[in-house]
Structure formats: structure tokens, C-alpha cells
């Protein structure tokens, strides 16, 4: 086992993790705060990538490109939100429908091409996986970490405002929210827009990082997003109570996810088993809180019996 | 203050589970009325309250609150006129949010919620502290605690407080003490009366406890098969007893009162 | 936070330098990054390995990693290779190449199963060399030749339906190109794109309104040839395929390249880069060495089609 090789691979895994961490923060908004399972993200991730790829290869400033990706991502969330609230389609199905539609939309954005290269030698990009081992501000980890911190700070502030609280109430207790005069349908739409905007933003960063956009690049994104959310909660959840801490956990969860993947590769396991291993890793992290709960009730139960005796 | 004009509501029409919940409910409340609502299983008590709150649209008739026809207003739009407390203590508050956050949400009922103003201000915090101190439950020292950690009684007391932070035109209480033990229930009822008197509120309270129905409020109505069949005016209510109520019920409905949860004593 | 990150980075770099210095005995490390498990791609990887082993024997260590169709895994695997400081990366299929190019500007990268390097790497004025650390082999089928065999076998047909998967960048390119050749030969062409396995059957069904069908070198179509065969054979519509795998499944004839040969040629290029110090940025991209006219005997019989003598039956 070449341990130095693993260490050398970790910066790459970390920056990939930080980028996916932003995506997972988007997932956290719907999954944990709004209590909606949103499957739009598999599509909106690729939408963000497609928008960024098209704009950057047209010579547009990459900052403007990621901003546009964010806005277009919000539109995808709007679509899912309207499917759900205005047309009464269950949230999961609404997300699947949008995801389906986005496949065609993403092809249109990229002018019918399924794959588009963003050549790091030719265009100004914000991050590139080429620089992960460079000791300078060019290193993608610097910028992506900074962006993550800004993202968490902005979300923390937003969820402390009147409207942010209304969104949280909608996710926490819809009946209560409506009784307090909150338009829960609109709150859900806004939450879905915010979430998918962030997901598309992360897709735009990923496209630059990996050097291409592809209509299928979002495939499995929801699994990685949920995995990051859950891993973060399991590993660090008990140290953080406030929202910013929880969002930070999500980001760290994504980094851990990619560390685990990198270690799996480093161990030289057959890559044909990669998907099975991914499923196992996620399943184990999902099971940990459940097992903990079981152990706790059993202990509590035993305590009671002793008292009775 | 409230006019319920001949409303009707049928759930799942045309199916095997069809239920005519409200047939022809008609009720008119004066400003400051505190009416208690009793009736058998499925008489339509909660359905009527929910119809007023706008949980579902009614099939027929209209509802006017304080001169404003709200029949076609959605639930969240009506909320500015209404304070509500539910049977299940879980329903009225957001368990995952803190006490002060819940109160801040209630303090903005019916108002525009901006993404550019803080969800809670310092001024509100001190106001909430004073209000919570009134309850005598010690909640004023736990304002950062998640509501999920509170007992059922504490949650109902908090929900009551939240319902009256912004003075509602009408307070709707849907068996709000049914899930509590008798001692806590008595406390919450006491608080209910206090808040209604202090704020001079108009209120409707559904209850399955005949004694409470007689003890509280200035009016009492009895529902049966989706109609209001007995309506006791304030003058008469003071001298009313449980036996009289049962007599009136049998006389008008032609049957015995059937409510497995009804407490007669 | 940033300081911790850079400290960690510095540590990694130091350690990796030590590791590289330690591995002086010249065994070449080669990483193969393959996009997905697939007959053609597997054959190319096999050819590549065989060529390297023949030339270098035990002095080369080949690590094959498969992204299992997830684009994201390409980036992770490329990062793994770069971290291990391999001497050469072989990227099998377009996203694998793009992820590798994204990951390193120094380590030589050879691509294979790439249809068009100009598109894949976004090089505007394609001249045959990339000018960067990339070269390799292209699997561009001889599209003009394929149009000609279609004309040879079905001179009386009027319309040709072009079936492909809209998720594959290379397919669209091929479809558009061959449409040009077919139009010149007097055929009317129509595109039928499917998105995934779910609509393969229905899209093929509607394509059967044409006299003859053509399917390019399309990975997704190659996976669902059975589904396509179940529609076209009963409908009596012959399919000219862009590659042998598709022809075996649902076609009648093809003008084919061998992915094994293509991978083998890539392996020979790798030997040049590793042992002779050839400059990869000036190595021209190579194409398939030879084309063969092949036919699917069973399907030809089922559709009652006679092929000329110079066609080879697919075994």
C-alpha cells in the first residue's frame, strides 16, 4: 500500500467534496428544512453545468456564467414547485417530471450536443482539477471553501429573517404555518427555487473543475447529496445545534464521502464494484442513527425494568 | 362578528366513503360572544370550525367575518382574522423551532414577511418574555428551547398565547384540552377564559365536556347531523344544567345523545 | 481554514515527492480510465493492454479502473491516477478523456474510442495533433464507406431513418455527417433520437416508416440491440450499423473497425511515449488501420437479403 499516494490524492477528493458539498447544501434545504424529497437535482445539476459550459466557451466572464447558472437553476425549481403546488402533483413525482424534462432542456442549452468540453487552456475558469496540488490561491480548494463559507453565511442570515422563518415553519409544520398566515405553497416554491439554484451553481463549478459538461453529469446526484447530508449528521451532528453548524456538517459530509471513495479506489478494489460500495457506504451511514436509537430504547427499557423490580 | 350562512360540505362525494359532514349549518355570533359547541360523534363540530378557518372550501352557503365575506379566501389569507388552537398539541406549534421563533411567527400573522427583516427583534424578545411569564410555567426562561421538548399542556398554553399575540377577530378552539390530563386541562381552560376576557375576544370552543360547555362562555350550541339544532342564548345559559341539555337534545333530534367521549358530569 | 488546507497540501506534496524518489527501478505505471462496461470499450482496453504487455512485459504495471458510467467517478479516478503519479493515462471514451485532461496538464494522456478529438477537447482548428499532453486513436467509422454499402445493398430504397441516442455527443456528429453522404446519393434522411432505454422501442417503431435504417457507433444503442431487433426484424426493415456490435445484435451489414485493433494501436503509441520519449503533443491522432465489410447472416436470411461476395459473415 502506497500511503503517500493516498495522501497525494486527498486534495483532489477534498475539492471535489467541497463542490459537491455546495450541492448537498441545496439538497439539505429541501430534504431537511422543507421536508420535501426533491429529485429535480439530478437534472438541475446538469443544467447548471450546461449553462456554464455554453457561456464560458462563448467567452463570458465565469463569475457571470455561474450567476446565470444559479438563476436558471432557480427556474428549474420553479417548474417543480408549480408542478407540485399549482397542479397538485406529489413532490417526488414533480421532481422526477422536471428531471425528465430537463434532459431535453439541457440538450437544447448545449445546442443538441450531449457533451461539451471546457478547455482549461483556452478559457478563463474559476476552478480546475488541474490545480489541486498547486500551493497558491489558484488551488480550487481555496475558492470553493471560500464560496462555501459565503454560501453558509448567506443561508444562515436568510433563514434568520421573517421569510426564512416562514420557510422553516412550512417544513416543520404545515398546518401551523398556514394557521399563522403563511402561504405554504409559495414557501415551498421559493424553497425549491433556492435549493435548485444552489445545485445548479454547484454544477457550474463542477463543469469548470472537471473540464466538461454532459447531459448525464447529474446522474445519481441526489444520492450523493443525501449521503453527504446524512454522513455529516452522523459524524458531526451532535457537535452543532445551529443552522450554520448543520450546513457546515453537510459540506464536511460531502468531503468525507469523497475521501471514502478515494480510499476505496486506493485500496485497488475492482471498480466494477464501485456502485455496490457506494450503496453500502450510504446504507451504513443511514443505519447508524437507527441502531443508536434502538440501543438507546433498549437501555432505557432495561432501566425501567430494574426500577420496577 | 361571525355569520355562518347555511353552509354545507360533503366529503368524497359520489364514493363509498361519502360523508355529509355539514348539511345546513347556520350560526351568527355577536362581538364578544364566547360560544361553546357540543354534539355527538360526527355531528360536524370540528368540520364547522375548519370551514370557518378555510381548511377546505364549502359546497354551499357563505361565511362572513367582521363584515368581510371570506368564503373564497384561502386558509392562509383568512389567518389574519383568526386565532386557532387545535386538539392535537403537535398541530399548533412547530416542534423543531424554538419557543421564541414560534412566537415570532405568530406575531407576524397576517402581515407581510420580508426576507430583509430579522425574524425576531430584541423588542419582541422582551415582549415575549413578559407574555410567557403570565403563563406561570417558567417558559420565559426557556425561550431558546425547542418546542418539541415541551409537554402537551405547555404546548397548548403556548399555542393559546400565540393565537392571541395579534388580536384575532375570532378565536377558534377545537377541543383544545381533549388530549390533556384533567388538571392540566383545567389550567388551560382557565387561561383560555382569562385571555378571552383580557383581549375582549369573540370565540368558539368545541368541547366534549358538558360541564366545561356550561361553565365557560356566554352561549352554547348543540350540533347534530351537520346542523345546529340547539342554540342557547346568553340570558338562558346561566341557569342551564346538564339534564336540561340532554332533554333538549332528545327533544329536537328524536334520539339519544351518542358520543363515546362525551363527559356528562 | 485556508491555512490548514495549505498545510495539508504541503504535507501531501512532500510525501508524494518522497514516494516518487523511492520508486526509481523503471517499472512504468499506466492507468486506464474506462467510462463504462461495454463490449467495444472492453475490447479497446484489452487491445491496449496486450500491446503494452507484448512490448514491455513485466516492466509495465497497468491499472484498469472503470467509472461504471458515472461521469463523476471519472474525475475521482483521474485524481487517483494523478495522485499516484502514473507515467501515462489511457482514457477510454470521451468523458474519461475530458476528466483526465481536466486533472493534469503534464502526464501524457492517450485517448481511444474517441470519435472526434476536436469536439471532445474543444479545439477549434483541428489539424490532427492536439498541441497539449494528449494524443490517441479515433474510432470514427468510415461514414462515407457506410453510406456506400447502404447504397450497394439497397439501391432502390428511398428513405433512410437514422436512429441514435441524444445523450451521446458522438452519435449526433455521425448522424449529421452520414446524412450528408446519403443525401448526395439521393436518399431522403430522417433523424430518430431516443433519450434512454425506455423509449428505444417506441422510437425505433416510428423509424420503421423508412425503407432502411442506420444506427451509428452509439454506446446506448449498442446496449439495447435486442430491443431494436425485436422491432425491426418483424417489421422487415434492414439496419445498417456503424459498428460490429450493433450489427451482431440487430443489423444486416456494416463497414467496421475493430476496437481491439484500435486499442492495440493506442498501446503501440503508449510504448513510443514511454520508452522512446516521443513528444505526445506532436503525435498525430491515429485512425483505424483497416475497414472490413461484414454482414449478419441470420438477419440477412430472415429479411431475404443477398450480399455480394466480398462481405465477411460475422462469427
What are the CB-based long-range contacts (under 8 Å, 24+) for B194-197? B195/B160, B195/B161, B195/B164, B196/B34, B196/B171
Higher per-residue pLDDT: B254 or B244: B244
Q: What is the domain partition of chain A in residue ranges?
A: 3-218
**B117 in contact with A, Cβ within 8 Å:** yes
Segment B49-68 shows an average pLDDT of 95
Q: Does residue C14 register a pLDDT over 60?
A: no
Confidence tier at C104 by pLDDT (50, 70, 90): very high
Confidence tier at C263 by pLDDT (50, 70, 90): very high
Lowest mean pLDDT among A166-180, A282-296, B89-103, C7-21: C7-21
Q: What is the domain partition of chain B in residue ranges?
A: 2-96+169-253
Identify the pLDDT of residue B237.
83
Which DSSP symbol is given to C57? G
Identify the pLDDT of residue B141.
94
Segment A1-25 shows an average pLDDT of 90
The ipTM (two decimal places) reads 0.90
Segment C109-121 shows an average pLDDT of 92
Identify the pLDDT of residue C18.
43
Query: Which of A158, A165, A178 is closest, CB to CB, to B101?
Result: A165
Name the residue of chain B whose CA is nearest to A186's CA. B76
Interface mutation target, options B70, B81, B96, B114, chain A, most CBs of A under 10 Å: B96
Identify the pLDDT of residue B74.
94
* Whole-number Å distance between alpha carbons of B95 and B158: 12
Segment A235-257 shows an average pLDDT of 93
Name the residue of chain B whose CA is nearest to A173's CA. B94
Domains of chain C, start order: 27-139+259-282 (3.40.50.2300), 143-256+292-313 (3.40.50.2300)
Q: Indicate the CATH number for domain B2-96+169-253.
A: 3.40.50.300
Q: Does residue A305 register a pLDDT over 60?
A: no
Segment C195-208 shows an average pLDDT of 87
- Residues found in chain C: 315
From C173's Cα to the closest Cα of chain A, the distance in A is 9
Chain-chain contact of A114 with C166 (C-beta, under 8 angstroms):
yes
Segment B129-152 shows an average pLDDT of 93
Q: Does residue C184 register a pLDDT over 70?
A: yes
Identify the pLDDT of residue C20.
44
Query: Which of A104, A113, A122 is closest, CB to CB, to C169?
Result: A113
Most trustworthy range by pLDDT among A114-118, B150-154, B239-243, C243-247: B150-154
From A264's Cα to the closest Cα of chain C, the distance in A is 10
A87: three-class secondary structure by DSSP: coil
The percentage of residues in chain C with a pLDDT greater than 90, rounded to a whole number, is 63
Q: Does residue A281 register a pLDDT over 60?
A: yes
- Report chain B residues whose CB lies below 8 A from the CB of A182: 76, 79, 105, 113
Query: Which of B91, B104, B110 is closest, CB to CB, to A181?
Result: B110
Identify the pLDDT of residue A261.
86
**B79 in contact with A, Cβ within 8 Å:** yes
Chain-chain contact of B97 with A160 (C-beta, under 8 angstroms):
no
Segment C96-102 shows an average pLDDT of 94
Q: Does residue C244 register a pLDDT over 90?
A: no
Confidence tier at A107 by pLDDT (50, 70, 90): very high
Q: Which of residues 182-221 of A touch B (CB under 8 A)?
A: 182-184
Are B8 and B226 spatial neighbours (Cβ–Cβ below 8 Å)? yes
Identify the pLDDT of residue A88.
94
The percentage of residues in chain C with a pLDDT greater than 70, rounded to a whole number, is 92
The percentage of residues in chain B with a pLDDT greater than 90, rounded to a whole number, is 75
Segment C48-67 shows an average pLDDT of 94
Q: Does residue C16 register a pLDDT over 50?
A: no
Identify the pLDDT of residue A241.
85
Amino acid at each position: 500500500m502506497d500511503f503517500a499516494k493516498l495522501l497525494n490524492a486527498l486534495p483532489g477528493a477534498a475539492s471535489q467534496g467541497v463542490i459537491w458539498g455546495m450541492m448537498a447544501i441545496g439538497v439539505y434545504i429541501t430534504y431537511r428544512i422543507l421536508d420535501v424529497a426533491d429529485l429535480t437535482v439530478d437534472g438541475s445539476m446538469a443544467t447548471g453545468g450546461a449553462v456554464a459550459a455554453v457561456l464560458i466557451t462563448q467567452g463570458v466572464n465565469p463569475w457571470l456564467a455561474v450567476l446565470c447558472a444559479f438563476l436558471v437553476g432557480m427556474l428549474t425549481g420553479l417548474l417543480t414547485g408549480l408542478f407540485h403546488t399549482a397542479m397538485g402533483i406529489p413532490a417526488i413525482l414533480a421532481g422526477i417530471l422536471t428531471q425528465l424534462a430537463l434532459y431535453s432542456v439541457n440538450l437544447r442549452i448545449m445546442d443538441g450536443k450531449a457533451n461539451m468540453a471546457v478547455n482549461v487552456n483556452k478559457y478563463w475558469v474559476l476552478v480546475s482539477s488541474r490545480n489541486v496540488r498547486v500551493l497558491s490561491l489558484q488551488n480550487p480548494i481555496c475558492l470553493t471553501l471560500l464560496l462555501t463559507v459565503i454560501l453558509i453565511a448567506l443561508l444562515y442570515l436568510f433563514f434568520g429573517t421573517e421569510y426564512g422563518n416562514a420557510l422553516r415553519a412550512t417544513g416543520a409544520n404545515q398546518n401551523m404555518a398556514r394557521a399563522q398566515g403563511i402561504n405554504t405553497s409559495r414557501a415551498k416554491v421559493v424553497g425549491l427555487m433556492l435549493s435548485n439554484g444552489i445545485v445548479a451553481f454547484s454544477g457550474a463549478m463542477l463543469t469548470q473543475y472537471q473540464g466538461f459538461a454532459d447531459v448525464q453529469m447529474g446522474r445519481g446526484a441526489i444520492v450523493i447529496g443525501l449521503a453527504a447530508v446524512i454522513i455529516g449528521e452522523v459524524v458531526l451532528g451532535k457537535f452543532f445545534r445551529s443552522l450554520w453548524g448543520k450546513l457546515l456538517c453537510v459540506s464536511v459530509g460531502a468531503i468525507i464521502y469523497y475521501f471514502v471513495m478515494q480510499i476505496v479506489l486506493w485500496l485497488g478494489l475492482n471498480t466494477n464494484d464501485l456502485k455496490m460500495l457506494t450503496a453500502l457506504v450510504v446504507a451504513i451511514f443511514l443505519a447508524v442513527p437507527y441502531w443508536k436509537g434502538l440501543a438507546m430504547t433498549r437501555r432505557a427499557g432495561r432501566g425501567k425494568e430494574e426500577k420496577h423490580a | 362578528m361571525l355569520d355562518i350562512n347555511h353552509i354545507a360540505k360533503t366529503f368524497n362525494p359520489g364514493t363509498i366513503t361519502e360523508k355529509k359532514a355539514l348539511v345546513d349549518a347556520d350560526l351568527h355570533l355577536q362581538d364578544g360572544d364566547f360560544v361553546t359547541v357540543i354534539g355527538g360523534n360526527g355531528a360536524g363540530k370540528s368540520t364547522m370550525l375548519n370551514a370557518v378557518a378555510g381548511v377546505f372550501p364549502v359546497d354551499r352557503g357563505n361565511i362572513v367575518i367582521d363584515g368581510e365575506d371570506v368564503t373564497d379566501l384561502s386558509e392562509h389569507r383568512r389567518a389574519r382574522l383568526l386565532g386557532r388552537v387545535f386538539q392535537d398539541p403537535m398541530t399548533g406549534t412547530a416542534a423543531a423551532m424554538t419557543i421564541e421563533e414560534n412566537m415570532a411567527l405568530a406575531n407576524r400573522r397576517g402581515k407581510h414577511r420580508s426576507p430583509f427583516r430579522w425574524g425576531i427583534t430584541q423588542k419582541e424578545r422582551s415582549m415575549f418574555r413578559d407574555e410567557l411569564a403570565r403563563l406561570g410555567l417558567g417558559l420565559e426562561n426557556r425561550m431558546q428551547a425547542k418546542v418539541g421538548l415541551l409537554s402537551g399542556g405547555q404546548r397548548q398554553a403556548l399555542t393559546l398565547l400565540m393565537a392571541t399575540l395579534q388580536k384575532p377577530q375570532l378565536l377558534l378552539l377545537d377541543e383544545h384540552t381533549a388530549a390533556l390530563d384533567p388538571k392540566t386541562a383545567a389550567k388551560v381552560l382557565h387561561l383560555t377564559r382569562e385571555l378571552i376576557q383580557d383581549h375582549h375576544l369573540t370565540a368558539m370552543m368545541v368541547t366534549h365536556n358538558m360541564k366545561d360547555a356550561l361553565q365557560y362562555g356566554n352561549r352554547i350550541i348543540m350540533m347534530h347531523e351537520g346542523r345546529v339544532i340547539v342554540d342557547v342564548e346568553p340570558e338562558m345559559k346561566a341557569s342551564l344544567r346538564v339534564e336540561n341539555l340532554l332533554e333538549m337534545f332528545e327533544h329536537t333530534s328524536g334520539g339519544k345523545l351518542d358520543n363515546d367521549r362525551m363527559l356528562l358530569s | 481554514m485556508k491555512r490548514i488546507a495549505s498545510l495539508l497540501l504541503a504535507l501531501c506534496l512532500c510525501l508524494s515527492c518522497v514516494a516518487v524518489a523511492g520508486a526509481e527501478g523503471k517499472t512504468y505505471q499506466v492507468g486506464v480510465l474506462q467510462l463504462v462496461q461495454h463490449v467495444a470499450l472492453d475490447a479497446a482496453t484489452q487491445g491496449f493492454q496486450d500491446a503494452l504487455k507484448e512490448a514491455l512485459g513485466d516492466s509495465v504495471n497497468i491499472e484498469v479502473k472503470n467509472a461504471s458510467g458515472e461521469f463523476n467517478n471519472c474525475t475521482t479516478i483521474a485524481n487517483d491516477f494523478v495522485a499516484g503519479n502514473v507515467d501515462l493515462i489511457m482514457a477510454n471514451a470521451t468523458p474519461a478523456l475530458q476528466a483526465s485532461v481536466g486533472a493534469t496538464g503534464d502526464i501524457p494522456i492517450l485517448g481511444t474510442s474517441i470519435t472526434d478529438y476536436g469536439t471532445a477537447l474543444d479545439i477549434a482548428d483541428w489539424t490532427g495533433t492536439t498541441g497539449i499532453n494528449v494524443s490517441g486513436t479515433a474510432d470514427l467509422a468510415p461514414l462515407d464507406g457506410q453510406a456506400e454499402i447502404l447504397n450497394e445493398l439497397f439501391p432502390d430504397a428511398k428513405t433512410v431513418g437514422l436512429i441514435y441516442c441524444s445523450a451521446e455527443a458522438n452519435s449526433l456528429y455521425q448522424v449529421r455527417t452520414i446524412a450528408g453522404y446519403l443525401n448526395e446519393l439521393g436518399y431522403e434522411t430522417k433523424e430518430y433520437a431516443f433519450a434512454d432505454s425506455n423509449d428505444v422501442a417506441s422510437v425505433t417503431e416510428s423509424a420503421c416508416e423508412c425503407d432502411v435504417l442506420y444506427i451509428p457507433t452509439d454506446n446506448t444503442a449498442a446496449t439495447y440491440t435486442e430491443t431494436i431487433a425485436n422491432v425491426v426484424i418483424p417489421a422487415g426493415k434492414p439496419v445498417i450499423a456503424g459498428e460490429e456490435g450493433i450489427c451482431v445484435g440487430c443489423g444486416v451489414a456494416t463497414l467496421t473497425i475493430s476496437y481491439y485493433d484500435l486499442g492495440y494501436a493506442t498501446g503501440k503509441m503508449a510504448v513510443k511515449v514511454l520508452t522512446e520519449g516521443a513528444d505526445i503533443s506532436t503525435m498525430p491522432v491515429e485512425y483505424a488501420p483497416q475497414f472490413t465489410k461484414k454482414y449478419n447472416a441470420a438477419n440477412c436470411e430472415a429479411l431475404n437479403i443477398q450480399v455480394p461476395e466480398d462481405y465477411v459473415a460475422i462469427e
